[in-house]
Structures are given as structure tokens and as C-alpha cells.
């Protein structure tokens, strides 16, 4: 072997290409990310969907039982590419980070990407020398959209014979052939959009799964859990989470609902099967070119199965061309995240737990087909790539103010060793929060009261032990808050104290099974509200900090304000008065928007301008909202541009002056001031 290396060095020096001696030994790196795949969807994770190619990679490599993503599309992509938590990296702008393509590219790799980008600019602005795909978060699988690009230029989607999952691998193989011509090792990142909504499958794939989901989600979930137990995926004695209140028993559904739900899962299975077929096609290409042995293949999902049931058209048809477009089903999302609780966006295990497969015959010495049971996270990918390809992550980069990488190289796991985690794993997406520290996990549903679980014997988060371990929880919340500030550099609104929990948890975009199939249009369904229903949303260019009953607002540009997207049912019907105290040091007057029609998006609807006293002193306001219907959405803008304002005692009163809603709500258990 040393002789061979020497021969390469000599040849390369003579040819004037010194780096190729290293290149001959460094692995190729293939990163595959799928979109909204449930923890149990793959065969090797308990699923009945046929995924022989991915199963083969797992059996010839390693499979993780505790690999984490960030529970959402764009934030997972940021962490995968940068080794950092999303907000720390500069979010979609990646302004505080370098990507895997930039790191490996600087070390002599040929870099390419296909599929969904979902961040600012284009992959070709972040080190990918080749790119084919869509910049958008989702698109029609057959018709595409206007965001398709090929190597930085707009690309016209063909009018027929197009399907994104297949096109991604067509271009991947084309780019690999180019890479081979350069003699460099390569780094390819494929970001499949499947099985993200719209649920649309190739006819032959859909036909394969027809009739397989007639028994419904209760039975499918039971079978998946039984298979997971056979596979030894989770510790013996793991109890599956029970069916939540918001998912009805399959047997209780109407015939029309069952017909539609069966077809939705048929489409999802077909889309996932197609991903597996395309991965198989790519792996065969690596086999034929002799590259499979020294290619590190890494497969993950960006988040758990999606429960958001926003809009479906043509529910009586089959979704096998671009004219039919269906959204996800909360019932199937529950079954697909077996045995865990909750979904995409939630930081429970059902949201952040992903199948994760690593395959690298030349580099993995741990027993093939074994299960890695230590926690790992997308932030570990970039450090691992840097480690195994000898491509140091640069400490500085032109025009970017880099922040430290939080992930750690997982290379010790490749040889069956333990990884010593330097700090807890931090989770935050929008209002959903969690911290994983050793076996302990603190988690909050949409900034409602913190819960505490010991995952060593309760991976499925069934037994909240917050009341048994108040000191531990308080310390974990303190640590979460400190990391949110010091590691993520998140705005204060991201770590404002949690509020009291409203149980059972609900979300207005989960399937409303009392409606006809297809009638779950976004925003149609209201949550169960109480007096303290709280969904204040700081609009763009607005930062909101809450202290007691005081809301402190900072405006950084035009058109700032507060939105109330989910008003409690208890508000009854109008007319109402919106009452508040306001001290303004910002420019311009105020306006209120409201609508009584849930389908209407503000600022459409009613508008009420009002003058604002801008002397910085507290003044009382009472503005009449003249309607005899029930308001569904409200927006309060107290300024037209930059400045600061303080709002106190904000409440909605009925005609008699009785308060029917107030903001902000009371604080709940586990509140922790930074």
C-alpha cells in the first residue's frame, strides 16, 4: 500500500496535480435528505412500505435509533449544511456559517446538489459548483414551479414526463459523471422534496399500494410497532404512546372519510417507495463505477411526518398527475411517527426523531447492520464530513461573521466507540422548544408549560415527571434559555417565559375530522380557546417582549404590528371594543384590521385607523369593532415605522364592557426569566 501511495504522489507531482494523492484516499460524500418522512416509514424502521434499497444500506452500514433533526424544513437544512443551530447560523441567510460544500470544495472536492433548497439565494452562492432543483419549500411533483434552477440559471420544467423525485437523481448521476471527469473526490447533496405535500405519486407506484391501507391507521400503527420491537430498534419494554384525543379511531370514521384517508396513505407510500427506487438507481451507479465502497452515504429526514391538513382538491380522484393536490392527514402522521408523540414542528420525539442511515464499507468498522443508540443531531454532519474528508471548517470566511459550530464529529461511532457530548442538544422552532441533556429531556408545546421526561425508560414521552423533579427542570430551562441567548443569539421574543398549558394540546391546522374530506382549508378550523388563548404573533419588523401584562415592542421598519391569528371561541359575537394602554415613541398613527371570515387573510377585511399620541406617555385607547358576527382574526398596528412602544392591559371587551379575551395570558409552570 505505501508503494501505491508513493506511485500516486509521484505521478501527480509530475502531472502538476499534487492534491490527487490525497484525493485517491478520501471518501466521496453523499448526503440524502428527505422531506417530512415519519420515523417508522422505512422498512428498516418498522414500516410496511417497500424500501429494499435503503434497508440494504442500513444492513450494510449503521442505523441510528436517536438521531435528531430540528422538526422543520428550512431549519434542518441550515443545521445539516452548517453544523450549527439554525438561528445561530444566520437562519435562511446563512450569514454566520459556511456550508459543507464550501468546506469540502476548499479542500478539493467536486460539489453538487439536487432538489429542494428552501434558503436564501441559491446553492451556487454557497459552494455548490453544480445545482439542479427548486428553491421553493414545496412544489407540484409533475408540474414543478417557477423556482427551478440549473447551475444558477432559471430552468423550464418540461410539460410532460416530469416527476421531481426522478429528475433529482437524473441530474445527480449527470453531475457525478462530470465529477469523475475531474479526478476529484465528490460531495453530492440530494434533497428530495418527497414525501412532503402535495401528495402526488407516479401512477405505477400508486397502483402498487392500492388496497394496502384499507385497514386504517390503528392497525398499521400496531404492525409498525410490533416490527420495531422485532428489529430491536427501541429498548425492550418501550410503551407506544396512545392515540391522542385529536385522532379518532379508524372504525369511527365515515365511509367517505375512510375512502379519502386510505388514498392519502396510498399516495404517501408510493412517494416513499419512489424515493427508495431512485436511491437504488443511484447506488447501482456507484456500484458500477466502483465507488460504493469508499462513498460515505448518509440518509436522514428533515422532520417527522406532517399533521397539517391545509387544502386538498379533487378528493374523489387519484393523485397521479399534476391536477390533483392533497395535503397531509393528522391521523396518518400519528401512525407514521410510531411509536412517538406529535409531529413536524413539535419538539417531541415524533417531530425531531428521524430515521438515519450511514453506509461506508471502507470507513465503518463497527458491526454492520447494528443500531447506534447514542443521540446524534444534524449539527454533527458538517463536523463529521470535515473529519473524514480532512477538510477543516474555516475559522473565517469572506463577508460572513462566523459563529462556532455546535456539532461534533460522529466518527467515534463508526468504530463502535462512545461519543462524549460537550453540551446538551438544543431545540427551538418558532414556539416549540426542547433540551436533551443525557437521558433527560425538557420539552414545551408551543411555549406552553415545560414537561420533563427521562428518555432512558420513557422514550415515548408518556410520563411527565416535571412535578417530581422541579429543580432538575428549572436547571434545564435555565440552560435552554442560556443557550438560546449565547449559542443561538436569538431575539428575546424567542425565549420569553412559557405560558400555562391548555390540555389537550390542539392546533388549528390539524385535520378536523368532523368536516367532509378536503374541507380543511387553511385557517378554517379554530382551536379550542379559553379566556387566555394566546397566539400573539409579532409581525415582520417587530420584536415583542412580554413582561407581566406589559408588551414591549421594537419596530425596525415599515408596517410593523401584532397579529392575533387564533381568537378564542369564548369571545362570542360583536360589537366589541379593543381596549389597551399605549405609550409610543414610534412614527405614525395606528390601525386595526379584523375579519369575521376565517378564509380571509388580513389585511383584507375591515380596517379602522386611529390616531396615536406619540409623546412617550401612557394613554388609554378604546376602539369599537363594529360587527355583529364573531371575529376570527385581528391585527393591531400601533405604528407605521421605526421606534418603540409599550402596550399594557390589552383586552377585547363585549358591548357590555365585559372582557372576553386578554393578552398576554398568565404565566405557567417552569417560567424562567433569562
Local structure of residue 158 (DSSP, 8 states): P
Q: How far is the CB of 145 from Ca ion (least distance, A)?
A: 17
Q: How far is the CB of 78 from Ca ion (least distance, A)?
A: 13
Question: 512 with 458: CB under 8 angstroms?
Answer: no
Torsion of CA 138, 139, 142, 143, to 10 degrees: -170
The site for Ca ion, by CB under 5 A, has a size of 5
Binding residue for Ca ion, selected from 26, 31, 36, 405, defined by CB under 5 A: 36
Closer residue to Ca ion, CB minimum distance, 36 or 278: 36
Q: How far is the CB of 358 from Ca ion (least distance, A)?
A: 21
Q: How far is the CB of 212 from Ca ion (least distance, A)?
A: 24
Question: Which three cell numbers, joined as nine digits, stand for 424?
Answer: 446538551
Question: 334 with 224: CB under 8 angstroms?
Answer: no
Binding residue for Ca ion, selected from 12, 29, 35, 132, defined by CB under 5 A: 35
Question: Which three cell numbers, joined as nine digits, stand for 68?
Answer: 435528531
Options 29-37, 184-192, 399-407, 549-557: segment touching Ca ion (CB under 5 A): 29-37
Binding status of residue 328 toward Ca ion by CB under 5 A = no
Q: CA 624, 625, 629 angle in degrees (round to 5)?
A: 140
Closer residue to Ca ion, CB minimum distance, 302 or 565: 302
Q: How far is the CB of 301 from Ca ion (least distance, A)?
A: 7
| Cβ atoms < 10 Å from Cβ of 370 | 15
Closer residue to Ca ion, CB minimum distance, 38 or 83: 38
Q: What are phi and psi of 60, to 5 degrees?
A: -100, 5
CA distances (Å), origin 92, targets 42, 101, 558:
29, 16, 21
| Cβ atoms < 10 Å from Cβ of 312 | 23
Q: How far is the CB of 80 from Ca ion (least distance, A)?
A: 12
Q: Which of 460, 63, 60 is nearest to 232 (CA)?
A: 63
3-class DSSP assignment, residue 269 = helix
Question: Which three cell numbers, joined as nine digits, stand for 173?
Answer: 448521476
Closer residue to Ca ion, CB minimum distance, 36 or 205: 36
Q: Which of 197, 195, 146, 142 is nearest to 167 (CA)?
A: 142
Q: CA 450, 456, 459 angle in degrees (round to 5)?
A: 60
Give CA–CA dist 328/325, Å, rounded. Answer: 10
Options 27-35, 275-283, 354-362, 422-430: segment touching Ca ion (CB under 5 A): 27-35
Q: How far is the CB of 36 from Ca ion (least distance, A)?
A: 4
Give the HSE-up count for residue 547: Cα atoms under 13 Å, Cβ half-sphere.
7
Give CA–CA dist 97/88, Å, rounded. Answer: 8
Give the HSE-up count for residue 29: Cα atoms under 13 Å, Cβ half-sphere.
28
3-class DSSP assignment, residue 663 = strand
Binding residue for Ca ion, selected from 57, 73, 119, 483, defined by CB under 5 A: 73
Q: What are phi and psi of 239, to 5 degrees?
A: -95, 125
Closer residue to Ca ion, CB minimum distance, 73 or 498: 73
Closer residue to Ca ion, CB minimum distance, 35 or 262: 35
Q: How far is the CB of 112 from Ca ion (least distance, A)?
A: 22
What residues from 143 to 172 belong to the interface with Ca ion (CB under 5 A)? none
Q: How far is the CB of 75 from Ca ion (least distance, A)?
A: 10
Closer residue to Ca ion, CB minimum distance, 141 or 580: 141
**672 contacts: CB under 8 Å, gap ≥ 6:** 474, 477, 478, 481, 497, 498
Question: 31 with 381: CB under 8 angstroms?
Answer: yes
Q: How far is the CB of 302 from Ca ion (least distance, A)?
A: 4
Closer residue to Ca ion, CB minimum distance, 80 or 270: 80
Q: How far is the CB of 73 from Ca ion (least distance, A)?
A: 4
Q: How far is the CB of 201 from Ca ion (least distance, A)?
A: 18
Closer residue to Ca ion, CB minimum distance, 73 or 477: 73
Options 69-77, 446-454, 606-614, 617-625: segment touching Ca ion (CB under 5 A): 69-77
What residues from 268 to 307 belong to the interface with Ca ion (CB under 5 A)? 302-303
| Cβ atoms < 10 Å from Cβ of 400 | 17
Closer residue to Ca ion, CB minimum distance, 75 or 389: 75
Residue nearest to Ca ion (CB): 73
Q: Which of 401, 381, 378, 399 is nearest to 391 (CA)?
A: 381
Options 35-43, 79-87, 313-321, 639-647: segment touching Ca ion (CB under 5 A): 35-43
Beta bridge partners of 583: 646
Closer residue to Ca ion, CB minimum distance, 357 or 393: 357
**417 contacts: CB under 8 Å, gap ≥ 6:** none
Beta bridge partners of 579: 622, 651
Q: How far is the CB of 202 from Ca ion (least distance, A)?
A: 21
Beta bridge partners of 29: 187, 296
Closer residue to Ca ion, CB minimum distance, 73 or 81: 73
Q: How far is the CB of 430 from Ca ion (least distance, A)?
A: 14
Local structure of residue 393 (DSSP, 8 states): P
3-class DSSP assignment, residue 674 = coil
Closer residue to Ca ion, CB minimum distance, 302 or 451: 302
Closer residue to Ca ion, CB minimum distance, 191 or 201: 191
Binding site for Ca ion (CB under 5 A): 35-36, 73, 302-303
Amino acid at each position: 500500500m505505501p508503494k501505491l501511495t508513493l506511485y500516486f504522489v509521484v505521478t501527480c507531482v509530475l502531472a502538476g496535480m499534487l492534491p490527487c494523492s490525497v484525493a485517491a484516499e478520501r471518501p466521496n460524500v453523499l448526503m440524502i435528505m428527505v422531506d417530512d418522512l415519519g420515523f417508522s416509514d422505512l422498512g428498516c424502521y418498522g414500516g410496511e412500505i417497500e424500501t429494499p434499497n435503503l434497508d440494504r444500506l442500513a444492513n450494510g452500514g449503521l442505523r441510528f435509533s436517536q438521531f435528531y433533526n430540528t422538526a422543520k424544513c428550512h431549519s434542518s437544512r441550515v443545521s445539516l449544511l452548517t453544523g450549527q443551530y439554525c438561528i445561530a447560523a444566520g437562519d435562511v441567510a446563512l450569514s454566520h456559517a459556511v456550508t459543507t460544500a464550501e468546506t469540502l470544495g476548499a479542500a478539493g472536492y467536486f460539489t453538487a446538489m439536487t432538489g429542494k433548497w428552501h434558503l436564501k439565494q441559491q446553492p451556487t452562492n454557497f459552494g455548490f459548483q453544480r445545482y439542479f432543483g427548486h428553491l421553493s419549500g414545496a412544489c407540484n411533483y409533475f408540474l414543478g414551479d417557477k423556482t427551478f434552477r440549473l447551475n444558477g440559471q432559471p430552468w423550464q420544467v418540461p410539460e410532460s414526463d416530469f416527476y421531481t423525485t426522478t429528475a433529482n437523481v437524473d441530474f445527480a448521476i449527470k453531475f457525478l459523471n462530470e465529477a469523475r471527469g475531474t479526478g476529484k473526490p465528490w460531495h453530492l447533496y440530494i434533497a428530495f422534496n418527497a414525501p412532503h405535500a402535495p401528495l402526488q405519486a407516479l401512477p405505477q407506484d400508486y397502483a402498487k399500494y392500492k388496497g394496502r391501507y384499507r385497514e386504517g391507521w390503528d392497525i398499521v400503527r400496531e404492525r409498525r410497532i410490533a416490527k420495531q420491537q422485532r428489529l430491536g430498534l427501541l429498548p425492550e419494554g418501550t410503551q407506544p404512546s396512545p392515540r391522542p384525543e385529536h385522532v379518532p379511531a379508524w372504525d369511527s370514521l365515515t365511509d367517505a372519510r375512510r375512502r379519502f384517508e386510505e388514498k392519502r396513505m396510498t399516495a404517501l407510500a408510493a412517494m416513499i417507495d419512489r424515493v427508495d427506487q431512485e436511491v437504488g438507481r443511484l447506488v447501482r451507479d456507484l456500484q458500477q463505477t466502483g465507488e460504493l465502497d469508499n462513498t460515505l452515504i448518509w440518509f436522514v429526514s428533515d422532520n417527522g411526518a406532517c399533521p397539517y391538513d391545509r387544502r386538498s382538491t379533487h378528493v374523489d380522484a387519484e393523485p397521479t398527475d399534476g391536477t390533483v393536490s392533497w395535503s397531509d392527514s393528522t391521523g396518518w402522521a400519528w401512525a407514521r411517527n410510531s411509536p412517538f408523540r406529535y409531529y413536524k414542528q413539535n419538539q417531541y420525539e415524533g417531530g425531531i426523531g428521524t430515521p438515519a442511515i450511514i453506509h461506508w464499507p471502507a470507513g465503518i468498522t463497527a458491526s454492520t447492520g447494528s443500531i447506534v443508540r447514542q443521540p446524534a443531531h444534524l449539527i454533527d454532519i458538517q463536523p463529521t464530513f470535515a473529519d473524514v474528508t480532512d477538510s477543516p471548517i474555516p475559522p473565517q470566511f469572506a463577508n460572513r461573521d462566523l459563529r462556532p459550530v455546535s456539532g461534533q464529529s460522529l466518527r467515534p461511532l463508526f468504530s463502535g466507540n462512545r461519543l462524549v457530548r460537550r453540551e446538551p442538544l438544543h431545540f427551538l422552532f418558532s414556539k416549540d422548544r426542547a433540551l436533551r441533556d443525557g437521558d433527560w429531556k425538557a420539552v414545551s408545546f408551543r411555549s406552553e408549560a415545560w414537561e420533563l421526561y427521562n428518555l432512558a425508560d420513557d422514550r415515548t414521552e408518556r410520563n411527565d415527571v416535571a412535578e417530581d423533579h422541579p429543580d432538575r427542570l428549572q436547571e434545564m430551562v435555565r440552560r435552554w434559555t442560556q443557550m438560546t441567548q449565547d449559542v443561538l443569539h436569538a431575539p428575546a421574543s424567542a425565549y420569553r417565559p412559557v405560558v400555562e398549558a391548555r390540555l389537550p394540546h390542539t392546533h388549528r391546522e390539524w385535520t378536523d375530522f368532523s368536516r367532509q374530506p378536503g374541507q380543511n382549508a387553511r385557517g378554517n378550523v379554530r382551536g379550542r380557546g379559553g379566556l387566555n388563548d394566546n397566539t400573539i404573533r409579532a409581525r415582520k419588523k417587530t420584536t415583542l417582549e412580554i413582561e407581566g401584562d406589559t408588551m414591549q415592542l421594537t419596530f425596525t421598519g415599515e408596517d410593523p404590528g401584532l397579529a392575533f391569528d387564533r381568537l378564542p371561541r369564548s369571545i362570542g359575537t360583536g360589537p366589541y371594543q379593543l381596549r389597551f394602554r399605549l405609550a409610543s415613541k414610534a412614527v405614525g398613527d395606528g390601525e386595526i384590521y379584523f375579519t369575521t371570515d376565517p378564509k380571509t387573510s388580513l389585511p383584507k377585511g375591515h380596517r379602522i385607523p386611529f390616531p396615536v399620541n406619540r409623546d412617550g406617555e401612557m394613554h388609554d385607547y378604546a376602539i369599537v369593532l363594529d360587527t355583529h358576527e364573531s371575529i376570527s382574526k385581528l391585527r393591531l398596528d400601533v405604528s407605521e415605522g421605526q421606534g418603540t412602544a409599550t402596550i399594557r392591559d390589552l383586552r377585547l371587551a363585549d358591548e357590555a364592557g365585559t372582557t372576553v379575551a386578554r393578552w398576554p395570558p398568565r404565566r405557567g409552570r417552569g417560567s424562567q426569566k433569562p
